[in-house]
Amino acid sequence: MSRAKTRASDRSITTGSDFLHLTIADAPPGGRADWLAARLRQALADGRVPVGGRLPATRLLAADLGVSRGVVTEAYQRLTEEGHITGRGRAGTVVVAAPPAPATPTPAPAAAPAPGALFPPAPGSDIFDAVRAASATIDLTPGVPDLTAFPRADWLRAERTVLAHLAAADFGYGDPCGTPALRRAVAAWLARSRGIAVDPVEVIIVAGVSQALGLLAQVLGAAGIDRIAVEDPGSLGVRQHLNNWRVDTPPVAVDDAGLRVDELAASGVPAVMLTPAHQFPTGVVLDGDRRRQLVDWARAGGLIIEDDYDAEHRYDRPPVPALRGLLPEQVFYAGSVSKLLAPALRVGWLLVPARYREAVVAAKRNADLGNAVLPQLVLAELMTSGALERHLRLLRRRHIQRRDAMITALARHLPGATVHGAAAGLHLMITLDGELADGELAAATLARGVKVQPLSWHCQRPYRPGLVLGYAARTATEIEEGVATIAAALRSG
């Protein structure tokens, strides 16, 4: 290469992030410091460098622009004297105040709506985000484990191990089905804890059960299946999610023995999504007769989507093997770490009948080219080292105490309520007598600082009024106070 080109390269290599796109050629000869100061003032004014933001080191910016360091130092000095920036030693030069600028209207974050507005009879897809955004002193929203127990030290240790051994090529694009290490670990986990024997190559790593449902909706839709029966009562979130993927979700009743398979068969719907190990929200376990009926229905051609969302959390009853173990060619199986570790990890797994595998893999590739690699490998490390099982034992111990605390509090403050599904899971359901509108009760409870979900959210057809109460993430004291608040809201209603 020519000497000139080499110099150009050498100069450009320190260009950092093309700071503000400054090009010294625009500067008037002799007025470079003024010019630079003016450009910087403008950048501060229009927020391109926000208050709290850092300016490049004078050495770097000087090299970027191909000017003497003195020019940059002088420009920085002007802004310092004007009180816009300040030197913070190793923190570099920091913006402390922006010059006045023509105010540009910026969309303010949506203000939290009034509690009443949060519990409409037919909530929209953004309802969970809206409720999450609402402020409350005690959150009894179901669906999360004790997040204070997240094994931060184990996670960091596993991440160190992963980063120490990872091959550089593994930072590139990978298999859309997931990393082999995690697929092996998940297969072993499912074999040991859920009675499912599966070859690791059949495991598809996904971004949680919600993504799994989206992928299945696309694949089944393409196969002409645009109706998936769901449990009633059953998860509002699951129903909304499937509907958003243009899948109809006709309701099938759930009674004390689980899904009414006779109703399913009579409906003629080709596929069903259910939670057999611990039905959401009722907590019912699909009993032996119903399992046999459902297996017969599937053997006759029915497709089952098994959401094994909190099967590992059982307290006073024997384990319930997954349906997938019995009917690998008729059952789609979805699980995740959302209830084992944290929803924020967005990692789950999906098993599909062989004939649908290629289409599901293609859908996952189209979705995002596959999950991020580092968290997969960290999770594999936690699963194989035994750290995840230790964590699960710890969670169970805490969850049982909290479950018991909630049952005690309900007996004290809401003796009229009937408690359902407390033998497992992260939540329980209560039903209440009378003509009560549980959406209004949830709103009144939130107005008193406690978040709960109305049972009616999760019902497509008329059902008893009630509430779905998560206990796993709250302390016994919070649970006691939360339940007392529900009772107070109920009395005042």
CB of 349 to its own copies, least distance (A): 14
Residue 365 makes contact with its own copies by CB under 8 A: yes
CB-based burial of residue 199 (10 Å sphere; 0-12 exposed, 13-18 middle, 19+ buried)? exposed
Residue 94 makes contact with its own copies by CB under 8 A: no
Residue 192 makes contact with its own copies by CB under 8 A: yes
- For the chain, what is the HEC assignment? CCHHHHHHHHHHCCCCCCHHHCCHHHCCCCCHHHHHHHHHHHHHHCCCCCCCCEECCHHHHHHHHCCCHHHHHHHHHHHHHCCCEEECHHHCEEECCCCCCCCCCCCCCCCCCCHHHHCCCCCCCCHHHHHHHCCCCEECCCCCCCHHHCCHHHHHHHHHHHHHHCCHHHHCCCCCCCCHHHHHHHHHHHHHHHCCCCCHHHCEEECHHHHHHHHHHHHHHHCCCCECEEEECCCHHHHHHHHHCCCECCEEEEECCEECHHHHHHHCCCEEEECCCCCCCCCCCCCHHHHHHHHHHHHCCCEEEEECCCCCCECCCCCCCCHHHCCCCCEEEEEECCCCCCHHHCCEEEECCHHHHHHHHHHHHHHHCCCCHHHHHHHHHHHHHCHHHHHHHHHHHHHHHHHHHHHHHHHHHCCCCEEECCCECCEEEEECCCCCCHHHHHHHHHHCCEECEEHHHHCCCCCCCEEEEECCCCCHHHHHHHHHHHHHHHHHC
CB of 309 to its own copies, least distance (A): 13
Identified binder of its own copies from the candidate list 123, 276, 375, 454, rule CB under 8 A = 375
Identified binder of its own copies from the candidate list 171, 289, 329, 412, rule CB under 8 A = 171
Residue 189 makes contact with its own copies by CB under 8 A: yes
Chain residues 195-224 in contact with its own copies, contact rule CB under 8 A: 195, 197, 199, 201-202, 207-208, 210-211, 214
Tell me whether residue 221 or residue 436 sits nearer to its own copies (CB atom).
Answer: 221
Identified binder of its own copies from the candidate list 35, 38, 53, 99, rule CB under 8 A = 53
Residue 86 makes contact with its own copies by CB under 8 A: no
Number of chain residues interacting with its own copies (CB under 8 A): 114
> Which window, 296-304, 314-322, 432-440, 447-455, contacts its own copies (CB under 8 A)?
314-322
Tell me whether residue 288 or residue 493 sits nearer to its own copies (CB atom).
Answer: 288
CB of 150 to its own copies, least distance (A): 5
Tell me whether residue 173 or residue 434 sits nearer to its own copies (CB atom).
Answer: 173
> Which window, 40-48, 72-80, 223-231, 440-448, contacts its own copies (CB under 8 A)?
40-48
Integer Cα distance of 437 and 319 in angstroms: 36
Chain residues 105-144 in contact with its own copies, contact rule CB under 8 A: 106-107, 109, 125-126, 128-129, 132, 143-144
Identified binder of its own copies from the candidate list 148, 224, 415, 434, rule CB under 8 A = 148
Chain residues 319-338 in contact with its own copies, contact rule CB under 8 A: 319, 321
Residue 47 makes contact with its own copies by CB under 8 A: yes
Residue 88 makes contact with its own copies by CB under 8 A: no
Cα 350–Cα 356–Cα 358 angle in degrees, nearest 5: 90
Identified binder of its own copies from the candidate list 173, 224, 415, 461, rule CB under 8 A = 173
For residue 464, give the nearest of 232, 275, 261, 280 by alpha carbon.
232
CB of 347 to its own copies, least distance (A): 7
Chain residues 263-302 in contact with its own copies, contact rule CB under 8 A: none
CB of 331 to its own copies, least distance (A): 17
Residue 256 makes contact with its own copies by CB under 8 A: no
CB of 108 to its own copies, least distance (A): 8
CB of 21 to its own copies, least distance (A): 5
Chain residues 409-468 in contact with its own copies, contact rule CB under 8 A: none
Residues in the chain: 493
Residue 92 makes contact with its own copies by CB under 8 A: yes
Residue 35 makes contact with its own copies by CB under 8 A: no
Tell me whether residue 8 or residue 114 sits nearer to its own copies (CB atom).
Answer: 8
Tell me whether residue 301 or residue 386 sits nearer to its own copies (CB atom).
Answer: 386
